[in-house]
């Protein structure tokens, strides 16, 4: 499998540190609100990466944190008149609900900042002891220039950063720094109501970047196989994680870095600050979670997705094709009961056996796509090819054994993508007029009046109803 490594800016063969095992860290949400569809993209993309690695036989230790200490959480607590802890616990619970709707598997560990405070404080003290950090009026800052290679992930150099700093408005914290480029590892408490912990430098709380360095080290050790997150985290968050962790551990922090692209609205990144976002919770009122997951996986993960009503409709229709294939196969499994081989029977015919062997090509195409830097768009195309082949093979019915084997391979591939996991069987509501037409068509077929039967079939098709003739009777499918 090849992964595009942001650090080296090229695709590389993935080789974990320990054979058969993968250590993977993905930056999780700051829990002060429901997450939007843009936030959901890394959750879905890297959940799919995890699922595919597990499909290939790797044992994956997958860590995704919750940032439950942040100014946004404190502000929300003030707005709602509750504690910061109550805010974070409320939205952690809401995260799990929406993530489950998207078929995102729970991480091996979901560490919280508030539960990792002793590790964070020790990490900061170690950096001070090594000369990479210093205390100033209760704050602790990282000496950015001291770390050789700062900017290697984002491609930024110190000169560019200095120029960026020159145009920035100064604040009171800048006066505490040795250098404008230094960033906070620990922040002194500013007011009594602010959430804070006791530390060697007084009451305070950690800076954002140090939290992930400490949590990843605690649960995955000094060096990660894969560190992943959204493109917006590449700088400064992940850049600062590298500086902190490599200065602290004396080892490479992560061997492979993966970053997903933005979800845009009218060409502009979706974000809460701009107000151009749609929460997953709101979208779930109109679409089921698998439609949203399909949307996210329908594009190559490093590129942008332009979010609009059309792409939601396309995703809904694409998923329906897969669901119809699954439903048809389940119907054939349930209704094929006759002894013997072939359509309507229990055993496969020789022709069905050959057809089943030909389905291996779609599995191969699927894996080839996923092995090429998690190309889920092409993997979905391979599934669609499989669906077309299945529909062709079962048009005149199928044996129970063939239908079950075809269903197994369909589910095998879709399970890796996290699709078709929800048992949503559309109940076809048939009004009396439609049922009368279906009955008339069946009578016409029995009387060998095929012209009238075809006319009724086309009439129903125009109304969004497909009739599928099987050895077990007519199957009604709403398009």
pLDDT at residue number 472:
47
Cα–Cα distances in Å, from 132 out to 143, 160, 180, 183? 5, 21, 15, 11
For residue 158, the model assigns a pLDDT of 83
Q: What is the DSSP string of 419-434?
A: -S-S---------HHH
pLDDT value at position 169? 64
Q: Are 79 and 86 in contact (CB under 8 A)?
A: no
Q: Which residues have C-beta within 8 Å of that of residue 291, sequence separation ≥ 6? A: 312, 315, 316, 319
Query: CA distances (Å), 177 to each of 124, 148, 181, 297, 451, in order?
Result: 16, 19, 8, 44, 86
Q: What is the pLDDT of residue 126?
A: 98
Task: Please choose, from the candidates 92, 94, 125, 90, the residue with its C-alpha nearest in 3D space to the C-alpha of residue 111.
Answer: 92
Please tell me the distance from the alpha carbon of residue 232 to that of residue 177, in angstroms, as a whole number. Answer: 25
Task: Give CA–CA dist 191/32, Å, rounded.
Answer: 20
DSSP H helices, 418-476, are: 432-446, 450-462
- Residue closest to 14 by CA, chosen among 27, 6, 5: 5
CA distances in angstroms from 208 to 29, 185, 187, 213, 221, listed in the order given: 12, 8, 10, 10, 20
User: Above 60 in pLDDT, residue 428?
Assistant: no
pLDDT in tens, 214-253: 999 999 999 999 999 999 999 999 999 999 999 999 999 9
Give residue-wise pLDDT tens across range 125-152.
999 999 999 999 999 999 999 999 999 9
For the chain, the structural domain boundaries read 2-306, 314-417, 432-478
Q: What is the pLDDT of residue 199?
A: 98
Q: Is the pLDDT of residue 166 over 60?
A: no
Which CATH class name applies to 2-306? Answer: alpha beta
Per-residue pLDDT reduced to its tens digit, 290-329? 999 999 999 999 999 999 999 999 999 999 999 999 999 9
- Pairwise CA distance, residues 414 & 408, whole Å: 10
**Is there a common fold for 2-306 and 314-417?**
no
When the pLDDT of each residue in the chain is averaged and rounded to a whole number, the result is 92
Question: Residue 165 has what pLDDT?
Answer: 64
Query: What is the architecture of the domain spanning 314-417?
Result: Up-down Bundle (1.20)
- The torsion angles phi and psi of 345, rounded to 5 degrees, stand at -100, 175
Q: What pLDDT does 175 receive?
A: 87
Q: What is the dihedral of CA 412, 417, 423, 426, to 10 degrees?
A: -110
pLDDT in tens, 465-478: 887 765 446 767 66
Q: Which two tokens stand for residue 160?
A: 């560019």
Q: What is the pLDDT of residue 397?
A: 93
205 CB neighbour count, 10 Å cutoff: 22
Confidence check: pLDDT of 445 > 90: no
Q: pLDDT tier at 427 (50, 70, 90 boundaries)? A: very low
443 confidence band (pLDDT: 50, 70, 90) = confident
Confidence at residue 426, expressed as pLDDT on a 0 to 100 scale: 47
Is the predicted pLDDT of residue 442 greater than 80, yes or no?
yes
* Predicted local confidence at residue 288, as pLDDT: 94
- Looking at residue 478, its pLDDT comes to 62
pLDDT tens per residue, range 358-405: 999 999 999 999 999 999 999 999 999 999 999 999 998 999 999 999
């Amino acid at each position: 499998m090849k992964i595009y490594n942001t650090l080296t800016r090229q695709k590389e063969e993935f080789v974990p540190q320990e054979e058969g095992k993968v250590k993977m860290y993905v930056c999780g949400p700051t829990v002060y609100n429901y997450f939007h569809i843009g936030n959901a993209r890394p959750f879905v993309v890297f959940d799919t990466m995890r699922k595919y690695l597990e499909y290939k036989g790797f044992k994956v230790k997958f860590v995704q944190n919750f940032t439950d200490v942040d100014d946004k959480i404190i502000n929300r607590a003030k707005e709602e008149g509750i504690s910061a802890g109550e805010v974070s616990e409320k939205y952690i619970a809401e995260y799990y609900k929406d993530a489950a709707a998207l078929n995102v598997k729970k991480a091996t560990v979901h560490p919280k900042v508030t539960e990792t405070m002793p590790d964070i404080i020790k990490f900061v003290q170690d950096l001070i002891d090594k000369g990479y950090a210093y205390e100033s009026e209760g704050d602790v800052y990282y000496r950015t220039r001291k770390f050789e290679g700062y900017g290697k992930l984002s491609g930024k150099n110190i000169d560019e950063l200095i120029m960026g700093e020159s145009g920035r408005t100064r604040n009171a914290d800048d006066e505490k720094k040795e250098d404008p480029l230094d960033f906070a590892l620990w922040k002194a408490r500013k007011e009594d109501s602010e959430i804070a912990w006791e530390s060697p430098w007084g009451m305070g709380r950690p800076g954002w970047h140090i939290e992930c360095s400490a949590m990843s080290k605690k649960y995955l050790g000094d060096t990660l196989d894969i560190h992943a997150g959204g493109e917006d985290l590449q700088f400064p968050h992940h850049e600062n994680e590298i500086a902190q962790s490599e200065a602290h551990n004396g080892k490479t922090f992560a061997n492979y870095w993966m970053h997903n692209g933005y979800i845009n609205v009218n060409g502009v990144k979706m974000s809460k600050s701009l107000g151009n976002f749609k929460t997953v919770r709101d979208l779930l009122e109109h679409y089921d979670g698998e439609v949203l997951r399909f949307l996210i996986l329908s594009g190559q993960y490093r590129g942008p997705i332009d979010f609009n009503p059309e792409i939601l409709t396309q995703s809904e229709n694409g998923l329906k094709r897969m669901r119809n294939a699954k439903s048809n196969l389940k119907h054939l499994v349930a209704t094929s009961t006759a002894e013997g081989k072939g359509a309507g029977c229990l055993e496969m015919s020789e022709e069905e056996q050959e057809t089943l062997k030909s389905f291996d090509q779609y599995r191969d195409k699927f894996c080839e796509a996923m092995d090429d830097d998690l190309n889920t768009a092409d993997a979905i195309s391979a599934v669609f090819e499989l669906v077309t082949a299945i529909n062709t093979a079962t048009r005149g019915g199928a044996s129970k054994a063939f239908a079950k084997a075809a269903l197994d391979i369909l589910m095998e591939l879709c399970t890796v993508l996290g699709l078709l996991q929800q048992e949503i069987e559309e109940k076809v509501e048939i009004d009396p007029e439609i049922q009368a037409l279906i009955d008339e068509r069946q009578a016409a077929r029995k009387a060998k009046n095929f012209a009238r039967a075809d006319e009724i079939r086309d009439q129903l098709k125009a109304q969004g109803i497909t009739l599928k003739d099987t050895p077990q009777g007519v199957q009604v499918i709403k398009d």
